[in-house]
Structure 1
Amino acid sequence: MRRYEIMYIIRPTVLEDDRKALIEELNAIFTSRGAEVTNVNEWGMKDLAYEIEKHKKGYYVVIDVLSNDEARIEFDRIVRIKETIIRYLILKNER
C-alpha cells in the first residue's frame, strides 16, 4: 500500500447535493477496494489559473489515501469518464 495525494476539480455548475454525492462516490472507490481515505479537504470554489472547458472557476477537493494499485487505477479510470470532473492529479506521497 502506498500513500497518494489526489486533487480534483469539479465543474462549478454542479449543485451542492450532487457535489457531495460525487465526493462520496469517489471516496467509495478506494474504501470498497480495501484502501483507506485518511483525509478529505474541500478547498471550495476557487479561480482557475487558466480557463478549462470554458470554466473560470472550479470546486477543489484534495484527498489523502493509503491505497493499493487496483484502487488507484480504478479511480483514474472513473475520473476520466466523469464529465463533472474537469481536472485531476494523482501524486505519490513519500512522507
Structure 2
Amino acid sequence: MRKYETIFVMHPSLDAEANKAAVEKFKGVIENGGGTVDNVDDWGKRKLAYEIKKVNEGYYTLINFTAGPELPKELDRIFRITDGVIRHIIVKEEK
C-alpha cells in the first residue's frame, strides 16, 4: 500500500451539492478499489493560474489516500470521464 494525494478542479458553474456529490463519488472509487481515504480538504473556489476552456476559476479539492499501485490508474480514468472536472493530478507521496 502506498500513500497518494490527488487534487482536482471542478467547473465553477456547478453548485455546492454537485461538488459534494463529485467528492463522494471519488471517495467511493478509492474505497471500493481497496484503498482508504486519509483526508479530504476542500479549498473552495479559487482563481486559476491561467484560463482553461474559457474558465478563470474553479473549485479545488485535495484528497489524501492510501491504496495499491493499480488504483490511481482507475481513479485517473474516472476523472477523465466525469463531467465538470477541469483538471486533476494524482501524485505518489515520497517517504
Bucket of the pairwise TM-score, normalised by the shorter protein: over 0.9
Q: Deviations over 1:3-54 (max 9, x none)?
A: 1111000000111111101100011001011101100000000000000111
Q: Distance in 2 between matches of 1:84 and 1:71?
A: 21
**1:75 corresponds to:** 75
The percentage of counterpart residues that share the same residue type is 38
**1:11 corresponds to:** 11
Within the alignment, does 1:23 sit opposite 2:23 as a pair? yes
Compute the displacement of 1:70 (Å).
Answer: 2.8
Compute the displacement of 1:78 (Å).
Answer: 0.7
SS at match of 1:46: strand
| TM-score normalized with structure 1 length | 0.95
For structure 1, which runs of at least 5 residues remain unmatched after alignment?
none
| Stretches (4+) displaced over 4 A | none
The one-letter code matched in structure 1 to 2:50 is Y
Q: Distance in 1 between matches of 2:20 and 2:85?
A: 13
Within 5 Å, which residues of 2 pair with 1:50-89? 50-89=50-89
SS at match of 1:34: coil
Compute the displacement of 1:66 (Å).
Answer: 0.3
Q: Distance in 2 between matches of 1:29 and 1:72?
A: 10
For structure 2, which runs of at least 5 residues remain unmatched after alignment?
none
Compute the displacement of 1:69 (Å).
Answer: 2.4
| TM-score normalized with structure 2 length | 0.95
The one-letter code matched in structure 1 to 2:53 is E
**2:38 corresponds to:** 38
RMSD (Å) for aligned C-alpha atoms: 0.9
